[in-house]
């Protein structure tokens, strides 16, 4: 794929981020998912609009792309995002199997305007007992049989 086409897709993501602000729908973030040089899905940040803290542009675009393609696996796709993905979105991009991430603004640029994910990045480096949010394990022995059922299932789908 040529640089002009990549820049076109990134400009779409940037336009989504700007439009989101002017329409008062939420934060300045946009994402476009492309497969075989075709736009599969696009979305702006919908956190405020949908009262959903997980409705970041990348997550929303992944949901739309999966629905459009009828799959949970976006191997063969690329994502163009107006900002370096936060930890949640980065995890979702890996889980979705997206092949490549193109981004415009950096996480430092986002932190400068109040979208600071440094707490989450630092928490990921800590042991569970050192994290600010308490992690308390309950009923592991009761939960393990579900994992055993999955392990033995002939109808499971690895993902």
Q: Are strands 100-105 and 38-44 parallel, antiparallel or unpaired?
A: unpaired
Backbone angles phi, psi at 135, to 5 degrees: -110, 120
| 3-state DSSP helix/strand/coil % of the chain, to nearest 5 | 50, 15, 35
Residue 12 and residue 92: Cα distance in Å, rounded? 21
Residue 117 and residue 27: Cα distance in Å, rounded? 14
**Residues marked as catalytic:** 58
């Amino acid at each position: 794929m040529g640089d002009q086409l990549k820049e076109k897709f990134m400009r779409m993501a940037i336009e989504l981020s700007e439009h989101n602000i002017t329409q008062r729908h939420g934060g300045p973030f946009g994402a476009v998912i492309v497969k075989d040089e075709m736009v599969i899905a696009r979305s702006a940040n919908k956190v405020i609009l949908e009262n959903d803290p997980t409705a970041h542009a990348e997550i929303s675009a992944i949901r739309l792309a999966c629905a459009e393609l009828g799959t949970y696996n976006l191997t063969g796709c690329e994502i163009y995002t107006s900002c370096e993905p936060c930890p949640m979105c980065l995890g979702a991009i890996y889980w979705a199997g997206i092949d490549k991430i193109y981004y415009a603004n950096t996480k430092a640029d986002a932190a400068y305007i109040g979208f600071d994910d440094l707490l989450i990045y630092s928490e990921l480096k800590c042991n569970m007992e050192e994290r600010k949010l308490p992690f308390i394990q309950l009923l592991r022995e009761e939960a393990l049989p579900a994992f055993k059922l999955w392990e033995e299932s002939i109808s499971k789908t690895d993902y």
